[in-house]
């Protein structure tokens, strides 16, 4: 143990790891082999693929690669269950949603640790953000289920909903998709990401504990072929997909003319605009949260910094100094800022984009901080001196990579901000409310304004390319 005087002098963070005992015990109870959850029953594990902990490479479990026949069984189960589930009425469905919300809260610590083991994100994020929000989604939509007969009297459920989510927020995306679908009387066939399926399988157990009727929720695992099977299945009435823009385009083409309802929540390259009158220290801290939260693996991350030219040098110096104090390491350590990248293939993609930025003339800054010797980790990275048309500026990287541009006037800032095919989010930092509101009016984004002592809620003023927004209540209903 270091003497207290030395600790106070250096203010170093000591390790504070979260115990994995309960999560490891849950995996062991299943012999670390999982089948599919169809019609409230577990299938025998077959055609197995591995799920690893990206922080140390250890094997967590083996999961089942669903076949075409498995998809047929899941859709058939959902189809059988849907009329009776819809006929229950909103109040009785709400009871089931409340039960699921309470069970998520009851097992919140297990979910948080399991999510961190499977995904590599810091335990602080899963424990304090992801899992509480997942529970709130079920509470919120339980309330809406009770109001459906009043607020949506002329609507009826869509039917069977196929849902496909990415790996960056596994349980939160699950709740985002499943809760509104169930509230409206639909049944679901849900596919988690191949890399991060464990929290969805734990949720399947909660469906059994809540005594959800058989077939209402069906969870099948596997790679992109399973997702493709869901997209093309004739028994699916609606598709809800969150993921890359490239895959979203393919889904849109595959479903064109099929009559399926569709909601896509795709990529982003969101601008983070800092005007000369902004509180630069606050803006730098906000930018750290915006781009390096969850290792930058967030669709609405502030991955394009636009800073006014006359304060750019000062602001970038502050940002670089702050980057040098970011802690990258074991995501189970409660003192860590950034955890592991989800998979080696994702690390390779991130690194390739940094190399592209260098080839395009960019100047790369990476702080001199220690990275773990084991696991898949990437340092926070800043790329400057790029042209607005550079690929690294235009394309979503989905990693801890920030690209920076400068501007001279507010009109140029808006022009640069809008010089992208994405339109998911934006952030404006200024102490001048008129300037900030004027800038906001020129952005077709869901924008967060940061003004002097005032925080404005996001203004949903536009949609990104191919985005019909994430599934919400009205998306899950059809006018009768």
Instruction: Give dist(CA 425, CA 445) in Å, integer.
Output: 5
Neighbours of 12 (CB within 10 A): 9
User: What sign does the CA torsion over 228, 229, 235, 236 have?
Assistant: negative
Helix axis angle for 21-29 and 108-119, nearest 10°, is: 80
Closest CA to 461 of 470, 474, 448: 448
Let me know if 389 is exposed, middle or buried by CB neighbors in 10 A (0-12, 13-18, 19+).
exposed
For 453, list phi and psi in degrees, rounded to 5.
Answer: 60, 20
Instruction: Give dist(CA 63, CA 221) in Å, integer.
Output: 7
CB 255 within 8 A of CB 469: no
CB 69 within 8 A of CB 38: no
DSSP letters, 213-227, are: PTTSEEE---SHHHH
Instruction: Give dist(CA 394, CA 391) in Å, integer.
Output: 5
Q: What DSSP character marks residue 17?
A: B
The question of whether 265 is a catalytic residue gets the answer yes
Instruction: Give dist(CA 89, CA 71) in Å, integer.
Output: 28
Query: Out of 115, 125, 207, 299, which one is annotated catalytic?
Result: 299
CB 220 within 8 A of CB 34: no
How far is C-alpha 180 from the chain's CA centre? 17
Query: Out of 194, 265, 395, 396, which one is annotated catalytic?
Result: 265
Let me know if 97 is exposed, middle or buried by CB neighbors in 10 A (0-12, 13-18, 19+).
buried
The question of whether 62 is a catalytic residue gets the answer no
Let me know if 392 is exposed, middle or buried by CB neighbors in 10 A (0-12, 13-18, 19+).
buried
The pair of structure tokens assigned to 309 is 């030219």
Q: Which residues pair with 8 in a beta bridge?
A: none
Q: Which residues are catalytic?
A: 265, 299
């Amino acid at each position: 143990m270091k003497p207290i005087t030395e600790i106070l002098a250096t203010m170093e963070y000591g390790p504070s790891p979260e115990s994995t005992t309960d999560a490891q015990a849950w995996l062991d109870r299943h012999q670390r082999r999982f089948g599919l959850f169809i019609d409230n029953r577990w299938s025998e594990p077959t055609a197995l693929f591995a799920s690893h902990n990206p922080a140390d490479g250890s094997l967590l479990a083996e999961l089942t690669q669903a076949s075409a026949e498995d998809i047929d069984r899941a859709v058939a189960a959902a189809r059988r269950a849907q009329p009776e589930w819809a006929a229950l009425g909103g109040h009785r469905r709400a009871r089931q949603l409340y039960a699921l919300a309470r069970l998520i809260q009851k097992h919140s610590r297990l979910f948080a640790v399991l999510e961190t083991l499977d995904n590599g994100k810091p335990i602080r994020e899963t424990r304090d953000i992801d899992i509480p929000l997942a529970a709130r989604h079920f509470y919120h939509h339980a309330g809406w289920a009770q109001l459906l007969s009043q607020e949506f009297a002329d609507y009826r459920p869509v039917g069977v909903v196929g849902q496909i989510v990415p790996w960056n927020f596994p349980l939160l995306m699950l709740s985002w998709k499943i809760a509104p679908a169930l509230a409206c009387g639909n049944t679901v066939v849900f596919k988690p990401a191949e890399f991060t399926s464990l929290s969805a399988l734990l949720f399947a157990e909660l469906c059994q504990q809540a005594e959800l009727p058989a077939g209402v929720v069906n969870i099948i695992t596997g790679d992109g072929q399973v997702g493709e099977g869901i997209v093309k299945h004739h028994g699916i009435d609606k598709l809800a997909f969150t993921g890359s823009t490239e895959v979203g385009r393919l889904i849109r083409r595959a479903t064109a003319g099929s009559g399926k309802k569709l909601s896509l929540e795709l990529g982003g390259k969101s601008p983070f605009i800092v005007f000369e009158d902004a509180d630069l220290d606050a803006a730098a801290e906000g930018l750290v949260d915006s781009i390096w939260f969850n290792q930058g693996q967030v669709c609405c991350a502030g991955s394009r910094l636009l800073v006014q030219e006359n304060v750019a040098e000062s602001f970038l110096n502050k940002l670089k100094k702050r980057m040098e104090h970011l802690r990258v390491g074991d995501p189970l350590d409660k003192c860590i800022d950034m955890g592991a990248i989800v998979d080696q293939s994702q690390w390779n993609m991130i690194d390739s984009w940094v190399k592209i930025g260098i080839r395009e003339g960019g100047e790369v800054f990476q702080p001199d901080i220690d990275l773990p010797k084991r696991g898949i980790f990437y340092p926070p990275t800043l790329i400057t001196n790029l042209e607005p048309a550079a690929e690294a500026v235009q394309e979503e990287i989905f990693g801890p990579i920030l690209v920076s541009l400068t501007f001279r006037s507010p009109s140029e800032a808006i022009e640069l901000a809008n010089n992208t095919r994405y339109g998911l989010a934006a952030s404006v930092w200024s102490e001048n409310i008129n300037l900030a509101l004027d800038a906001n009016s020129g952005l077709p984004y869901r924008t967060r304004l940061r003004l002097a002592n005032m925080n404005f809620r996001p203004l949903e003023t536009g949609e990104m390319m191919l985005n019909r927004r994430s599934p919400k209540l009205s998306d899950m209903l059809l006018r009768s």
